[in-house]
Chain A
Amino acid sequence: MRPMLVSILLLGSLLTGCKREQRVFDPGAAGSQPANGTVLSEVAAGQQPPKGNQPNPIAESAYAVAEGKRFYQAYNCVGCHANGGGAIGPALMDSEWIYGSSLEQIHSTIVQGRPNGMPSYAGKIPDYQVWEIAAYVRSMSGQLPSDVAPSRSDHMPMVVPEQSRPQEHPGAEHPQPVVSEPSR
């Protein structure tokens, strides 16, 4: 009896491999809608949005996170956030999260844009890709398991690969007031 129990447990732990390796190519009608950030208000920014049409295994699929990494480069997130260390935009690999660190919050941030320079990508990036980017952004501060987070890239090594980063513990979000004039 006991060996059977043990082997069932072992098999169960193996099944996590299913999600990790899932590759969803055609996200289906709902997931492939261009992300439309219709809710765009100061009050809502950063709040926990209702759990929506997130294609499920994205944050657990190594493939999806790797795709997110590729889009992060391709869509030039690097231009402002650098490789996570931040430049024009805030750093993404620390524990400071202005608008929240959950997958849904990051998704909203990308879709809706945020004051002080973060543009809205509503209608520009398909929704499932936003989720993938969001998942990748979470991996930058070590929020994802190391067998899902990406390993090093084939570039000049700038930062520690996502899979070997220590997990940061982001606190509660603290939205910033909108600055009407650019600060000097």
Chain B
Amino acid sequence: MSEQRAALIEQTISTAEEAERARNLERIWAEPKGFIGWFKAVHHTTIGKRYMVTAFAFFLAGGLLAGAMRLQLAFPESHLMSPDLYNQIFTMHGSIMMFLFAVPMMFEALAVYFVPLMVGTRNIAFPRLNAFSYYLFLFGGLMLFAFFFVNSGPDRGWFAYVPLSGPDYGAGKRADIWAQLITFTEVSALAVAVEVIVTVFKLRAPGMSLNRIPIFVWGQVVVAFMVIFAMPGVVVSSTMLLLDRTASTQFFNPAVGGDVLLFQHLFWWFGHPEVYIIFLPGTAIVSTIVATFSRRHVFGYMALVLSLIATGFVAFGLWVHHMFATGIPQMSEAFFTAASMMIAIPAGAQIFCWLATIVTGKPVLKTPMWWVLGFFFVFIIGGMTGIFVASVPVDLQVHDTYFVVAHFHYVLIGGAVFPLFGAFAYWFPKITGRMLSERIGMWSFWLFTIGFNITFFPMHILGLRGMPRRVYTYPADAGWTVLNQIQSCGYLLLFAGVSLFLWNVWTSLRRGEAAPPNPWQAGGLEWATDSPPRAYNFLNLPTVNGSEALWDALPDQPVISGLHEDVREIVTTRIHDAEPDGRDELPEPSIWPFIAAVVTTALFIGSIFRPIAVSIGAIPLAIALIGWFWPTREESERRRRRDIWQKS
């Protein structure tokens, strides 16, 4: 029945006139061809796919580094690696996973690809900025690896506390490279945050009022706001670190009134919300998959949205629980304990709502749903151990031990990677037009889940037996050997699980079953278009009548007509009720974002070696930006004629 009801907004080409329009739109929205064209692309599906592939490649690299660590720790007093190399490897692992995989994948990649589709528009807002942000992210990651291969990988831990990373104790350029890696990823995340917020607030399909926005999109909007408020903290701290190191400022020099704790406050002001920046998209994925596979609207839509927003707020009140051992006054410790426990309330509300959805629905057990069940099993353990570290006295014992390592791997892998693999299984048909193999998918799920628990569960026990984190080796008589060896074996299963997933992707891409537009009979707008989506996303821009657009569509659900189809025109809507309030033109593909990214990269890397590079690099950057925004006469006149004044 739903197929008939949504017939209008599901994008079928039946008449000759529609075929003509489709050809026309294809011509206007097509990505440029050829080698140079590759660098000009601005469509959100293109950039989103690149984000996914790049971030996943970094995930694999970070995973291999983890394997190296597990090899080193498999034996006590091992001399396989020098402490120098081990420190670089664990720092690289942490920095890659946090800055080059988790945030770019959970937020940037998924938001860029899916948010415009889910809100029913033709491209993301500020598409050129989007391309720019991708290249910066890519170049930042490549820079890190290039320096790692010449023995300059950061070696101060992923939060690089001063003074260890400061000028006096961090000789060489390793810590500078870490600080600039942060700058790269910051700029790209901030750019995407702005695009996502504008896309969701101004480009939603008519009818998608605030209470009908899909939960996935809500999650990404909350994350975008968190990015905007959290990232400045780390921008400031890493820049102060860089200035201390290269320009001899004294921000963190206690001898002249500088403060080593200032760095920690600034860093964790970002660092704690960062965890939720990674985890909220995971919960948003879970809400989506749970609803689709339980065959009902998600239970407690309003509660879920409010939980997302509440998490976003409370996340900024917890940063001190990373610093309980630094000797802050008891009163503030109590405050941050209370805040840390408070965040369990919205998290609990979300979990109960999903449970209610599953229990009152008709769950279908396909791979995406299995990954979500794995998420429950694993993530809740991480949430529970979160209460241990929220309690000051217990935290004083488990802080900086393997217990904490176990805790955040359960939270981050459970809360982000499990939903992410679920998301891959769920949206792979949409992105590629091919179905993944269920059979191989189940194998990789079970291998990954079992391997994960074997690798990380014993870490809780290790931590309670007193093993601190970030040690490159440990004494043979400490009683930690067997548990470490079990973990190292678990890594092999994890490795096999991820390898099988890659094999599944590879074979499915080559000879997988072709995917219909809506293989899961889901309700989101992204399923209303072809798999993979066309260059213009929707033949007819849709309108919306409920939080699951396809399920809730009226029999005569209208579509939008009357847009000019000779340029990249889209409709803009009002923030709260999504009533149409104007038209806008999105820009054409352009090489300038790429050039600007190259110049910015040179500027950032140069500033590692000479502070003056910032001033010199600003000149070509200004030229690149002028090229980027240079108006053409034809375009200006058209805009004037059609009453479109904004220039995006």
Contact = CB atoms under 8 A, between A and B. Distances in A.
B152 A20 contact: yes
B168 A152 contact: yes
Interface stretch (B170-178, B346-354, B476-484): B170-178
Nearest to B174: A21
A112 B235 CA distance: 50
A62 B171 contact: yes
Nearest to B162: A154
Interface stretch (A11-19, A92-100, A174-182): A11-19
A17 B150 contact: yes
A164 interface: yes
B168 A154 contact: yes
A154 B168 CA distance: 6
A65 to B, nearest CB: 7
Interface in B144-162: 146-147, 150-152
A14 B255 contact: no
Given A17-B147, A21-B152, A155-B255, A161 B172 contact: no
B150 A62 contact: no
Contact of B171 (A18, A66, A160): A66
Interface string A7-33: 000000011011011110100000000
Contact of B167 (A18, A63, A150, A156): A150
A17 B169 CA distance: 18
A15 B171 CA distance: 17
Contacts of B146: 14
Interface residues of B, number: 27
Contacts of B163: 154
B250 A152 contact: yes
Contacts of B15: none
Contact of A14 (B147, B166, B610): B147
Contacts of A14: 146-147, 150
Contacts of A22: 151
A151 interface: yes
A25 B173 contact: no
A153 interface: yes
Contacts of B609: 146-147
B151 A21 contact: yes
Contact of A164 (B82, B248, B255, B256): B248
A146 B248 CA distance: 12
Interface in A127-155: 146-147, 150-155
Interface string A33-48: 0000000000000000
Contact of A62 (B172, B253, B254): B172
Given A21-B173, A161-B248, A152 B253 contact: yes
A67 B169 CA distance: 9
B592 to A, nearest CB: 20
A157 B171 CA distance: 18
Q: For the complex of A and B, list the 8 residue pairs with the smallest distance between their C-beta atoms, beginning with the closest.
A: A151-B167, A66-B171, A62-B172, A17-B150, A152-B248, A62-B171, A17-B152, A154-B168
Interface of A: 14-15, 17-18, 20-23, 25, 61-63, 65-67, 146-147, 150-157, 160-161, 163-164
19 contacts: A14-B146, A17-B150, A21-B150, A21-B172, A22-B151, A25-B84, A63-B171, A66-B168, A67-B171, A147-B609, A151-B168, A151-B244, A151-B248, A152-B244, A152-B253, A153-B167, A157-B256, A163-B248, A164-B248
Given A23-B84, A67-B171, 13 more contacts: A14-B146, A15-B150, A17-B150, A17-B151, A21-B150, A25-B84, A61-B172, A66-B168, A150-B168, A153-B167, A154-B255, A157-B248, A163-B248
